C-alpha cells in the first residue's frame, strides 16, 4: 500500500460515512510529502550513472564543507568522500560555477577544492544528481 491509500483507509475507519471530509484531510494535511526547512533530501534510490560517486557522511549529509585560510581571507569549498573519476567531477561542477572559479583536485584525499564559497550551489547540484 502506498501512503495515500493507507491514509484513506485509516480515515474511512474513523469516519466511514464522511468521505468528503476524508478527501479534504488527505489533500490538506495527511498525505503530502513533508517539507524540510533545512532543505535536506534523502539520496535517490538509483543515482545517475556518472564516472564518480560522492558518499554521504555518517549523519547522511552531503560531504560539502567550507574552509578558511590566512585569517579568513582565502575561502574554499571542499567536496570530500569522492570515489571514481575526480577529473569528471571537476568538469561537471565547473558547469554550475562562474567561469573564473579555480578548481583543484587532491588525489591523495579524494577531494575537490574550489576557491570561493560555492557550497550552496554544489549541495543543490549534488542533491539534484541523486547523491
- Under a CB-based contact definition with an 8 Å cutoff, are residues 78 and 64 in contact? yes
pLDDT per position as a tens digit, 15-44: 555 555 555 555 555 444 556 666 677 777
φ/ψ of 9, rounded to 5, equals -65, -40
Cα 44 from Cα 2, distance rounded (Å): 18
- Under a CB-based contact definition with an 8 Å cutoff, are residues 87 and 103 in contact? no
Out of 54-63, 85-94, 104-113, pick the least confident: 54-63
pLDDT of residue 32: 47
Cell output for 130: 541523486
pLDDT of residue 48: 72
Cα 55-93-114 angle, rounded to 5 deg: 90
How many C-beta atoms surround the C-beta of residue 56 within 10 A? 14
Task: Find all residues with CB under 8 Å of 46, minimum gap 6, and list them.
Answer: 130
Out of 8-12, 58-62, 92-96, pick the least confident: 8-12
How many C-beta atoms surround the C-beta of residue 11 within 10 A? 20
pTM check: above 0.75: no
pLDDT per position as a tens digit, 43-52: 777 667 788 9
15 φψ region: left (φ > 0), alpha (ψ -120 to 50), beta (else): beta
* Percent of the chain surpassing pLDDT 70: 67
**What band does 7 get if pLDDT is binned at 50, 70 and 90?**
low
41 secondary structure, DSSP code: -
pLDDT higher at 5 or 94: 94
Q: In this model, does residue 90 exceed pLDDT 80? A: yes
Cell output for 63: 560531504
Amino acid at each position: 500500500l502506498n501512503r495515500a491509500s493507507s491514509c484513506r483507509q485509516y480515515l474511512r475507519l474513523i469516519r466511514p460515512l464522511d468521505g468528503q471530509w476524508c478527501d479534504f484531510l488527505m489533500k490538506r494535511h495527511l498525505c503530502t510529502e513533508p517539507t524540510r526547512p533545512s532543505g535536506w533530501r534523502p539520496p535517490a534510490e538509483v543515482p545517475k550513472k556518472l564516472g564518480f560517486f560522492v558518499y554521504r557522511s555518517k549523519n547522511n549529509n552531503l560531504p560539502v564543507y567550507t574552509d578558511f585560510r590566512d585569517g579568513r581571507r582565502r575561502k574554499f569549498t571542499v567536496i570530500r568522500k569522492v570515489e571514481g573519476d575526480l577529473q569528471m567531477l571537476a568538469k561537471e561542477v565547473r558547469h554550475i560555477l562562474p567561469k573564473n572559479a579555480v578548481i583543484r583536485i587532491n588525489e591523495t584525499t579524494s577531494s575537490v577544492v574550489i576557491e570561493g564559497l560555492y557550497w550552496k550551489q554544489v549541495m543543490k547540484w549534488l542533491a539534484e544528481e541523486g547523491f
